[in-house]
Amino acid sequence: TIVHGHGAKGGAYARLLSLFCGVKSIYTPHGGSVHRMFGLAEETVYTAVEKALLRFTDYCLFESRYSADAYFAKVGREPKAWSVNHNGVPAPDLPALEHAAAALKDLRDEEGLNIGVFGILRPQKGQSVALKAAAELVSRGLRFRMHFFGRGPDREALEAEAARLGLGGKAVFHGEADDPSPYMFLMDTVLIPSLFESFGYVAIEAFSIGRPVAAAATGGLREIIADGETGLLFAPGDPAAMAVALARLADDPGLRRRLGDSGRSCFSGHFLESHMLDRARAVYARPWRE
């Protein structure tokens, strides 16, 4: 009776089934169906399809208010019914994570700040900006190690940039991790240098294990993180501002603890997977189905 489609392709299937089979459709836009990610020709096609299918959409369920506003701007109006349901993740098994992380402790610099950057290696994720911030931290005399987890098309270019900046062992590329959680547990802080994020799963994953977050103030991250309360925000694309936030965390272990504890509390209150599922079920049961 309901088909819930995610992303441009899944959303198209959901709306076409609504048109031809008489079922109700829910749509959660992602990626190119929300943002301008392509060339002019492809972007024109995406936008035209979204506008055409909107009238066959019974409900839009967005992952963030940022995504909602971007979608409204793209299609030129609000859907007839919609709401925001922030993503959630399962509660972690902290003793098991601590045990798994203990086997990885050789990755750490025990004398300095260990900074974890998690995500696919591509321009939108801002790893190049993080490397420039790392160079700034070196110039300040800060002891640290910046750990990059993930694979992607930019790895060789990023490694070359790290070498050009003279970072040496200060920037380490570990590649893809089947389960990033133990590595995140091993970090002193989690850095999210993205140039834009529709939501920002990494932030709530860090919250879930009590790790302080420093993140670019962009997209859905501004909804997840309260600056100075559950994390530190800085201007996206600004390596100097990023370095200032990281230096604050390095110099103040008490701040790291406070932010980590507040993030963990925020996670338990709003970003648990069970909360997300409850909110989705409530949408499925609403009167718009009739």
Q: Cα(126)–Cα(121) distance, rounded to whole angstroms?
A: 8
As a dihedral over the C-alpha atoms of residue 109, residue 118, residue 273, residue 82, rounded to 10 degrees, the angle is 150
DSSP structure string for 40-69: HHHHHHHHHHHHHHGGG-SEEEES-HHHHH
Contact criterion met (CB below 8 Å) for 62 and 85: yes
Tell me the average pLDDT across 261-283.
96
**H or E, element range at 214:** strand 213-216
Tell me the average pLDDT across 236-250.
98
Q: Give the burial class of 207: count Cβ atoms within 10 A of its Cβ; 0-12 exposed, 13-18 middle, 19 or more buried.
A: buried
Helices of type H across 77-231: 94-102, 127-139, 155-164, 181-186, 201-208, 221-224
Does position 286 have pLDDT exceeding 90, yes or no?
no
Model confidence pLDDT, tens digit, residues 222-237: 999 999 999 999 999 9
Model confidence pLDDT, tens digit, residues 18-50: 999 989 999 999 877 777 667 788 788 888 989
Model confidence pLDDT, tens digit, residues 65-111: 999 999 999 899 999 899 999 999 999 999 999 999 999 999 999 99
For tokens 């700034």, name the residue: 136
